[in-house]
Amino acid sequence: MELPAPLRQAVDRVLERVPLPELKQAAKTLSDRYRAEVRDGRLHMAQDMAVRAYLATRLPATYAAVRASLDALNEVRLDFTPKTLLDVGAGPGTVLWATTDLWPDLEAAVLFEASAAARKIGEVLAADTITARTVWLAGDVTTDAADLTPADLVTCAYVLDEIVPASLPKMIDRLWQLAKDTLLIIEPGTPAGWQRILAVRAQLIAAGAHLLAPCPHESPCPLNPPDWCHFSRRVARSRLHRLAKDAEVPWEDEKFIYVAASRQPAAVHAARVIAPSRPGSGKVSLKLCGPDGKAGETLFTKRDGEEFRQARRLDWGDLLERNNT
């Protein structure tokens, strides 16, 4: 998956003439802090150069994860066309761009972000292209969310791992109150990210939410550690990205996990492919999570006719439109 051309061009302009040694150092610091899930009271993206490093090394991947998660919720709620967006922990505006790409008629967006440096660069990126009325608000979501206005779609991507765990239940409760229709939370596709999403999932179900995706059911998650639910998107690395990370491979696989919950039920209840498919000669094995709340491998062979042909085309994260696993 690639960034939309106007975003790619805006990012290239912001990164023009950035000194490579400084960008590399900032990319390393950012990556170390994210990997260790450092919570020391300082924002990872407090400095301008850290935001630039994010644009070069993380934005394409988080964009791909957000866009894929939006596609998944859209697939089961084709009637949902949000007019208003509230994005919390907006960073440089990743969700705004992905939402606009899927729903170009978005009318208004509020981007809530603690880092002044991220807000400033996000505004610059969006200035020439985003047509929705966009307001960037400063604040800490754990303490300053009381005055936010509800929106059709509320999102929070790659933020929970920066929040003190004890603050999460109250924060999620507030985000759910603010969601007029749907709340989407996305996290890195690590076992720890999955555990955070499981806690959010349980909290939202208890609050009466309908799950849209990825789970096709509201029963307890059938997976047990060391297994964990996550998805993946292949993302092209720009030349600057490779230079900043001393990376040779021109792509990377972004692993992510998400939960989309709504006040409206999903229109489609179908099993989801929750691991890479395992094709063989005349057969394919899919790990499916089904509407009955069970997960496991299902083997499809030529004898399954049309279902086999459909299964063979499916990818990790896709829906298999039938009613059992």
| Dihedral sign computed on CA atoms, order 21, 27, 31, 32 | positive
Peptide bond connecting 226 to the previous residue in cis, omega within 30 degrees of 0: yes
* Token couple for 103: 């729903």
Q: Is 188 in the site for ligand SAM (CB under 6 A)?
A: no
Q: In the complex, what is the shortest distance from the CB of residue 298 to ligand SAM, in angstroms, rounded to a whole number? A: 33
Choices 138-146, 226-234, 266-274, 304-312; region in contact with ligand SAM by CB under 6 A: 138-146
Q: Is 140 in the site for ligand SAM (CB under 6 A)?
A: yes
Q: Is 298 in the site for ligand SAM (CB under 6 A)?
A: no
Q: Is 57 in the site for ligand SAM (CB under 6 A)?
A: no
Q: In the complex, what is the shortest distance from the CB of residue 202 to ligand SAM, in angstroms, rounded to a whole number? A: 22
Interacting residue with ligand SAM among 103, 113, 176, 300 (CB under 6 A): 113
Nearer to ligand SAM, 66 or 295 (CB): 66
Q: In the complex, what is the shortest distance from the CB of residue 256 to ligand SAM, in angstroms, rounded to a whole number? A: 10
Q: Is 122 in the site for ligand SAM (CB under 6 A)?
A: no
Closest residue (Cβ) to ligand SAM?
Answer: 91
Choices 18-26, 74-82, 110-118, 190-198; region in contact with ligand SAM by CB under 6 A: 110-118
CA 282/CA 280 separation, integer angstroms: 6
Interacting residue with ligand SAM among 94, 134, 238, 325 (CB under 6 A): 94
Interacting residue with ligand SAM among 158, 194, 231, 258 (CB under 6 A): 158
Interacting residue with ligand SAM among 57, 115, 238, 298 (CB under 6 A): 115
Q: Is 26 in the site for ligand SAM (CB under 6 A)?
A: no
Q: Is 157 in the site for ligand SAM (CB under 6 A)?
A: yes
| Dihedral sign computed on CA atoms, order 298, 300, 304, 309 | positive
Interacting residue with ligand SAM among 7, 26, 62, 70 (CB under 6 A): 62
Residues that bind ligand SAM (CB under 6 A): 43, 45, 62, 66, 89-91, 94-95, 113-115, 118, 140-142, 157-159, 162-163
